[in-house]
Amino acid sequence: MNKVFLKKRISRRIEKGHLWIFGNEIDHTETSLQPGELAEVFTHDKKFIGKGYVNPSSQIVVRLLTYNREEEINDSFFIQRILKCWEFRKKLGYIENCRLVFGEADMLPQLIVDKFNDYFVIQTLALGIDRWKPAIVKALHEIFAPKGIYERNDVPVRELEGLPQLKGFLSKPFNPRILIHENGLRFRVDLENGQKTGYFLDQQDNRRRICHIVKGAEVLGAFCYTGAFEVHAAYYGARSVVGLDISETAIQTARENAALNGLSANCHFDTANAFDVLKKWSKEGRRFDVVMLDPPAFTKSRETLQNAVTGYKEINLRGIKLTKPGGFLVTSSCTNLIRPEVFLEILNKAASDAGRRLRQVTFQSQSGDHPIVWSMENTHYLKFLIAEVE
C-alpha cells in the first residue's frame, strides 16, 4: 500500500479527528498516487495516523477510513461499518427511515445512504468511495435484504472528482415512487426524480417541534417541497395551511401527501417563487400565525457567501413581517458555510429591520441520524429556529 507523509505543521489537526488531507499538507509519498487507491498516512516523523482513499487530482487528496492499521479495507469492512451505523440509528430510535450512513460523521467519507423502510438510496460522492460501490451494495443486501436500492449520483460535486453524474437501480428495478411513514403520517417519496435522495430526513425531528404552535393557526410554509412540514401542521391542528414551492412536481406530490393523510381540506399548495410571493403578501398586509421557511442551500462556496447572507436576511425579513404579533417564525438554513451564530445574527438584523423582536423558543440542528462530529465542522450544517415574533 502506498504511503503518504505529511508536513510537520499539519499533522496535529488530522490527529484531532479531521479526516481530510489536502494536497498542500502532503510532504511526500512513497510512490506516485493512483486515483482511487488506498494509502497509509504518516506524520512527518513517520508515526502512523490512518488509512484512507486517494484522489491525486482532487484538492482533498486523501480521505481517511480508519485509524486502525490492522483494519483491512475490503468487503467485510463495509459490512462491519454499515452494521455499526445501523446499530447506532436503532439505539436512537430511527428504525423505519434514517440517514443510515452520514459520510464523514460515520467515518465513511463521501458516502450517503438513506434508508426508507425497505428501500435504500445511495450517493458515492468521491472517486475513492465510488470504487467500493459494489461492496456497499453487497453489504446492504446482506444486512437488510432490501426490496430495492437506488443510486442518486446525479450530483454536480462528483465532477470535481472526475466522476460522471448518474442515477439508476442498483438492485432489481422497482417502482421508485414509494410510501414512507413519519410521525404517524404517510408520505410519497420519489427516489428517482425527487430532490437529493427524494426526501429530507434531516428535518424529521424538527417537524415534530411545530406540534403545539400550529394548533388552530393559519400557517404559511414557503419552500415546502413535498409538504412534509405543512402536512404535519395540518395534522397537528392548524386551521389552514398554505404551502409554496417553485417546483410543480413537488407541489403535485405535496397535494398527494395531504390527500394520503385525509388533510386536503386544510392544505392548499401553490407553485410559486417564494421570494416574490412573500414580498407581495407582506406589502399587501397579509398575516399568518405561523410562518415556516425552509429554503435550499444558497451557496456552496465562500465567494458567494455574502449573497447567501443577503438571501437569508431577505426571506426572513419578509417572513417576520408576515407573522402576526405573538405568532411564530419557524426558519431553517442548510447552508453549510453559514455557521449557527451567523444565522442568528442575520435573524436578529432581519427582526430589527422589521421593527419586531424575536424570542427564541428552540434552536436546534439536523436530526440525530445525521450526527455532528465536532472535529469536522461541516457535519453541522442544519440550523432550525422557532421564535416567537413579538
CB nearer to ligand SAH: give 226 or 316: 226
Among the listed residues 39, 54, 224, 308, the single contact to ligand SAH using CB under 6 A = 224
Instruction: Indicate the residue among 55 and 367 with the shorter CB distance to ligand SAH.
Output: 367
Residue 203 engages ligand SAH in binding (rule: CB under 6 A): yes
Nearer to ligand SAH, 139 or 278 (CB): 278
Distance CA 288, CA 277 (A): 14
Question: CB neighbours (10 Å) of residue 133?
Answer: 16
Residues that contact ligand SAH, how many (by CB under 6 A): 20
Does residue 275 touch ligand SAH according to CB under 6 A? yes
CA 353 – CA 225 distance, rounded (Å): 28
Interface with ligand SAH includes 260 (CB under 6 A)? no
* Residue found by looking up cell 510512490 in the block: 31
Is 211 considered catalytic here?
no
**Residues 293 to 322 in contact with ligand SAH, rule: CB under 6 A:** 294-296
The reply to whether 200 sits near ligand SAH by the rule CB under 6 A is yes
- Please give the grid coordinates belonging to residue 355: 421593527
Distances in Å between the Cα of 313 and the Cα atoms of 74, 221, 239, 316, 331 are 48, 17, 28, 5, 11
Q: Is the dihedral of CA 309, 211, 202, 90 positive or negative?
A: positive
Q: Cβ of residue 222: shortest distance to ligand SAH, in angstroms?
A: 6
CB of residue 245 to ligand SAH, shortest distance in Å: 4
Q: Which of residues 28-57 bind ligand SAH (CB under 6 A)?
A: none
Q: Which of 85, 98, 224, 334 is catalytic?
A: 334
CA gap 2, 22 in Å, rounded: 17
Are 34 and 49 in contact by the 8 Å Cβ rule? The answer is no
| Residues near 2 by beta carbon (within 8 Å), at least 6 away in sequence | 29, 30, 31, 33, 34, 37, 38, 39, 40, 54
Length in residues, the chain: 390
Q: Which of 244, 258, 337, 358 binds ligand SAH (CB under 6 A)?
A: 244
Residues that bind ligand SAH (CB under 6 A): 195, 200, 203, 223-226, 228-229, 244-247, 250, 273-275, 294-296
Q: Which residues are catalytic?
A: 334
